[in-house]
Amino acid sequence: MRVRILFRLFAGLGLVLPVVAEGATMLVPDRPSPQAAGTTIGFMIGAAGAATELYRLSVAPAQGPARGHVVYDYSRDNVLEWTVIDPGVYRVTAGVLDTATGQETFADQLFTINPAVPPDTDWAVALPTRNPLVALYVAPPCPPRALARVRFFAPSVGIQQTTSPKRCAPGTPLHLYVAGMREDTAYELWQELLAPDGSLLGQSPPTPFVTGRAGIAVSPGTATIPAGPLASASEPVIWNSPFIGAMGVGNAQATDLEGHLIWYLDEPAWSLRPSSEGTLWLVKRDPVTGIQDNLLVKTDLLGNVVKQTSVDAMNHRLGQLGYDDRITNFHHDVRDLPDGNIGVISTVERLVTDVQGPGEVSVIADMILVTNQDFEIQWIWNGWDHLDPARLATLGETCTLGAAGCPPFFLADQTNDWMHANALAYTPDGNLLLSVRHQDWILKIAYADGAGDGRILWRLGPEGDFTLVGGGDDDWFSHVHDPSFISDNQIILFDNSNLRCASAEAPADCQSRGQIWEIDEAAMTARLAFNTDLGDYAFAVGSAQPLANGNTWFNSGMIGTGEAPRATLQEVDPDGVRVFQRDLNVFQYRSYRLADLYTAPPSWGVRPRPWQEGPAGCPGDAGRPCRPLAVGPDRAPSMSPDHKGSGSERNGNRR
């Protein structure tokens, strides 16, 4: 039905649609080639229209490698929007996979993207976009092998910011999105030319740009402690991922330290974390099935899809690898790993018998999937293989269908929320940290940059593997969020303190805490090096981050009730003194302080993608702009030997 309706839609736009032969694939754009940079082109992929079909869209420079990079991984949606701001001729390839037969068919075509300004324009131009706080900056071509970025400044604001640098392409105008500006404000934008080592070679005259009125309002709140001289000036941007109502997702947004809105996405989504080069990760509902959190998406600052995969694509690949389990969603966290891969948390449902209660019980656990940039699975870790399912959730948490905070599950009307992993991080020695909220543990997992066997190296937390020194059991965190290494032996985290604050002996003023733990992995000891009460009890969500000046940033994400939601954002100095605080009247998943909207926090270890270039600037064509191309290693994924479900367990294959 969906394919039939969309055929009518495209026909209504005056497009002639050929008859699709059996086994053939068709690719039809909703606009003719060429189009200007920044134009969104909708591609319809047509085939037999079977319910077992999945659709993919890949893009490559016409003169580049035959294999393009995946923009849309296989999913059930056959109308896919593509937006690019780099002029050039592209080969756009559609793939159709019949999951019932395993047969794949392809169709491709060339599509030209022209500069967004006339070819004889020899001065820089700042163009409006559909987001009134984002400009498209277009400048004349710059010297090959040099880098260029845009610096922007409003005299009425007094803070300069820059975009991430971009490599110049021979004879091709430079196009960059500029974001981080207040609404209804006059700015000056100018190009800075950089040598390959990052040194400044020169700059252009300023180009004026006036932002418009934002399409959303900033999350309501007040600065109970304004940012003063003791607050970190190196991170003037506050990136927020709000919830609306009793867990409905909101619009990712950013403010300056004074609370002025400087960026937002115009579509609500569960935004997980910012990435590099002006991108961010989020999860979305499948538009065809309506199932929540079924798409993992990286977008640019306008919300255009940079890359996207689906639960259907991952489950197809798990099946190809001989893996019995299937995932039901993506959730809570995704990481750009230093080896160029992508790590994401997903849910796995099984039915177990006489393990977490009498008889057959549905239980959900978590799986880490590590993929390359084209979402081909490189490494798998499954909580079912490495944790004892007889150790129940510490507060006995369960999920019912459609309940707030619960993932999709399909094998029963209620399931035991056994693990509830909520954060993934990379360790200084190449392994992974996984925060497991409902076990009250932080796990270190043997990843070894993709060569590890997935065994649990240690469990940090109560009843774990470390001996607590210099304190008492009350020091331990519970239902923790967002732990990450900030040095070789220190871990920062947000301690919700559910076990302390929900117990019968809890003090009346029980508060969530910001903590830094110092661990000795040889002696297996742990010491609470920093601990600060955060003023309120956040029963769920939260985030933690070190700042450049030695302070820390904590988001207490869920305080109060769904009818009266609150969150607090706090910068705390090394003595535990709050030097900056904003109180919000919404729930908020995460908050991070950034230098700008193009650079992830240094403690995350996120690096820009490498540039592949040949002697003339790019392989095969000296006149073509060089673009980052990520092609992952062609190898089988690493899996523990006991990766298949067996015995009294049945796997949660999606219906």
Residue 91 contacts residue 62 (beta carbons within 8 Å) = yes
Which pLDDT band, with edges at 50, 70 and 90, does 425 fall under? very high
Contacts of 509 (CB under 8 A, 6+ apart): none
Structure tokens, 210: 């006036």
DSSP code per residue over 141-153: ---TT-EEEEEEE
What is d(CA 480, CA 494) in angstroms, rounded to the nearest whole number? Answer: 6
Which pLDDT band, with edges at 50, 70 and 90, does 606 fall under? low
Whether the per-residue pLDDT at 5 is higher than 70: the answer is no
Q: Which of 10-19, 103-112, 646-655 has the highest mean pLDDT?
A: 103-112
Predicted local distance difference test score (pLDDT) of residue 502: 80
Which pLDDT band, with edges at 50, 70 and 90, does 631 fall under? very low
* Residue entry with tokens 């700015």: 187
Overall average pLDDT of the 82-104 stretch: 95
**3-state SS string for 567-604:** EEEEEECCCCCEEEEEEECCCEEEEEEECCCCCCCHHH
Whether the per-residue pLDDT at 650 is higher than 60: the answer is no
| Least confident interval from 63-77, 233-247, 261-275 | 233-247
Greatest Cα pair distance, the chain, in angstroms, is: 76
* Cα 325 from chain centre: 24
Give 286-331 pLDDT, tens digit per residue: 999 999 999 999 999 999 999 999 999 999 999 999 999 999 999 9
Strand partners, 239: 254, 592
Q: How many residues does the chain have?
A: 655
Which pLDDT band, with edges at 50, 70 and 90, does 607 fall under? low
pTM higher than 0.85: yes
Predicted local distance difference test score (pLDDT) of residue 221: 85
Torsion of CA 508, 509, 515, 519, to 10 degrees: -30
Residue 558 contacts residue 199 (beta carbons within 8 Å) = no
Whether the per-residue pLDDT at 608 is higher than 70: the answer is no
Which pLDDT band, with edges at 50, 70 and 90, does 184 fall under? very high
Structure tokens, 530: 């920093």
Give 11-25 pLDDT, tens digit per residue: 444 444 444 445 578
Please state whether the peptide bond connecting residue 140 to the residue before it is cis, i.e. omega within 30 degrees of 0. Answer: no
* Closest among 100, 90, 118, 97 to 45, alpha carbons compared: 97
What is d(CA 183, CA 170) in angstroms, rounded to the nearest whole number? Answer: 35
Overall average pLDDT of the 491-512 stretch: 90
Residue 44 contacts residue 10 (beta carbons within 8 Å) = yes
DSSP structural state of residue 8: H
* Closest among 631, 610, 609 to 374, alpha carbons compared: 631
Torsion of CA 460, 465, 471, 473, to 10 degrees: 80
Mean of the per-residue pLDDT values of the chain: 88
Which pLDDT band, with edges at 50, 70 and 90, does 220 fall under? confident
Strand partners, 45: 27
Whether the per-residue pLDDT at 407 is higher than 90: the answer is yes
Please state whether the peptide bond connecting residue 34 to the residue before it is cis, i.e. omega within 30 degrees of 0. Answer: yes
Predicted local distance difference test score (pLDDT) of residue 40: 98
Overall average pLDDT of the 156-184 stretch: 94
Burial class for 220, CB neighbours closer than 10 Å (0-12, 13-18, 19+): exposed
| Least confident interval from 23-27, 48-52, 342-346, 630-634 | 630-634
Question: Going from the N-terminus, what domains does the chain have, and what CATH number goes with each?
Answer: 2-114 (2.60.40.10), 125-210 (2.60.40.10), 221-604 (2.120.10.80)
What is d(CA 47, CA 24) in angstroms, rounded to the nearest whole number? Answer: 6
Question: Which amino acid is it at 463?
Answer: E
DSSP structural state of residue 368: E
Any alpha helices (H) in 420-521, and if so which ranges? 498-501
Question: Which amino acid is it at 528?
Answer: L
